[in-house]
Amino acid sequence: MVCGGRRGAPSARILDALRAGIVVLIAVAAWSAPVAAQSLPSSALVSTPPASELERRVDEAFIATFPMFEMARARFNTVVNPLNPSPRPPNGPPVNRRALLDHTAREVTAPNNDTLYSGVWLDLHATPVRFHVPTVDGNRYWSIQLLDAWMENVGVFSRRTDGDGPLDVVVVGPSWHGWRPSGRVIRSPSNDVLFIGRFLVSSAADAPTVHRLQDGLRIGPVDAEAPVLPQWVPVSTAADPANFLAVVNEFLARNPVPAGERERWRGWRDLGIGGGPDAYLRTSPQVQAAWRRRLPALHEGLKVGLRYESRTVGGWAVPSPRVGDYRGDEPLRAAVALGAFGALPGREALYLTLEADPDGVPLTGAKRWKLLVPPIDARGFWSLSMYEKDGDGRLFFTDNPLRRYSIGDRTEGLRRGGGGAMELIVQHEAPADTSNWLPAPAGAYVLMLRAYLPSEAFLRGEAPLPRLVPAD
């Protein structure tokens, strides 16, 4: 989630984020939004029911198209937004994040300081795009994610699927019927695709090795002379039905609806879907009024983010197993588009959150805790991050004398018990022995457990999870 000023005029925080270019977007894919320790029914997505059949259809059309709006927003901010002093054209080379984030990072909510990112938008309208990932040795976690215009995963390549690599892939668009490129070919259902690369960093001293891996990425069009299709419609806010429909319709013109969905989407033409940039103005007064009435409730419903269809295991909120692999679950996809843009499928990464104690009281630095951490069954890596919660519910790393923002399987100097289990000290004030201290802010905070390449038991909710107990 891009933090601060998402709706309306750009804030100073958004301008800072734009200066970071695509880094804002690719960092977002490694976190999850704040998740309450409860399971929510399907009906929780829109708590205010539609008052008519027309409003029900508006709801359905909005939920189906909202991920496309968010992808269009992301592409606009990276490629063409005039407020971005360093716009990045599609089709490479990628933008590479070179440093891990710390407490000064305010570009995204719930950042991680485990991986470095590389990213770029692909434009497949006129040419396939080829990418190369060099050999990633040393048992280092890595992944390449391709997101289509509907925020569906076209492909996820990683240590799980391709070992150490190297990896060479050609991505072709839905209408490509030219010569067949040699080698491994992926056909995208959309012409606009977001490429996101993640590379694990073990320590600050390990960063130069990852930099060399990033420098070894090669991304470029197969036809270097092929034109890139411009994106014209400025993206302001989905709360404005005229802008929402204009943005969605431009992206629909750029990215044809899959054949099996075309009849359903044609049925929304009277609502302004597929009608061009001025479609809202050409709809009936009744349709315009329905959009204006429903958008506040629809946006409020999407704020559940990864809480939608989540379940609770040992006090930890566990997202739906369909995150990143939606299988037609459009409400979940829309909620994730707002609350966890670019989330990986669960088989690749799970994001669990804890924000209340065993009695259901929100966690704050006013109380001292021990966190009993069992061996975490993740073949990629795992980490426990500490976030302070601001007044708007956004999550950021908290300043502390150790400059320690998370503890995981690579953290040096920890005292561990048998089998890799450990006991962490979670409190605001520094303890006498800081070896296993996870510094907490004075106010409200959230703990997030990331598990990359989780085990089957972890995916089923059967693996033991960290447990809070009062400090002695």
Residue pLDDT, tens place only, 274-326: 999 999 999 999 999 999 999 999 988 888 877 788 889 889 988 888 999 99
User: What pLDDT is attached to residue 25?
Assistant: 43
User: What pLDDT is attached to residue 12?
Assistant: 43
The residue assigned the tokens 């804030």 is 11
Nearest-angstrom CA–CA distance, 130 and 169: 6
pLDDT for 11 beyond 80: no
pLDDT for 339 beyond 70: yes
Lookup: tokens for 304: 């559940």
Confidence of residue 52 (pLDDT cuts 50, 70, 90): very high
Confidence of residue 393 (pLDDT cuts 50, 70, 90): low
pLDDT for 273 beyond 90: yes
CB 314 within 8 A of CB 308: no
Q: What is the mean pLDDT of residues 7-15?
A: 39
Residue pLDDT, tens place only, 17-43: 444 443 434 333 333 333 333 344 445
Is it true that domain 1-338 has CATH number 3.10.150.10?
A: no
User: What pLDDT is attached to residue 44?
Assistant: 59
Q: What is the DSSP letter of 235?
A: P
User: What pLDDT is attached to residue 113?
Assistant: 86
Q: Which residue, 325, 336, 345, 370, is CA-closest to 451?
A: 345
Q: Rounded mean pLDDT of the chain?
A: 87
Domain boundaries, the chain: 1-338, 355-470
pTM of the model: 0.86
Q: Which CATH architecture has domain 355-470?
A: Sandwich (2.60)
Q: What is the mean pLDDT of residues 168-189?
A: 91
DSSP string, 390-417: -TTS-EE----TT---EEETT-TT----
Report residue 153: phi and psi, to 5°: -80, 110
263-297 burial by CB neighbour count: b if 16+ within 10 A, else e? eebeebeebbbbbebebbeebeeebbebbebbbeb
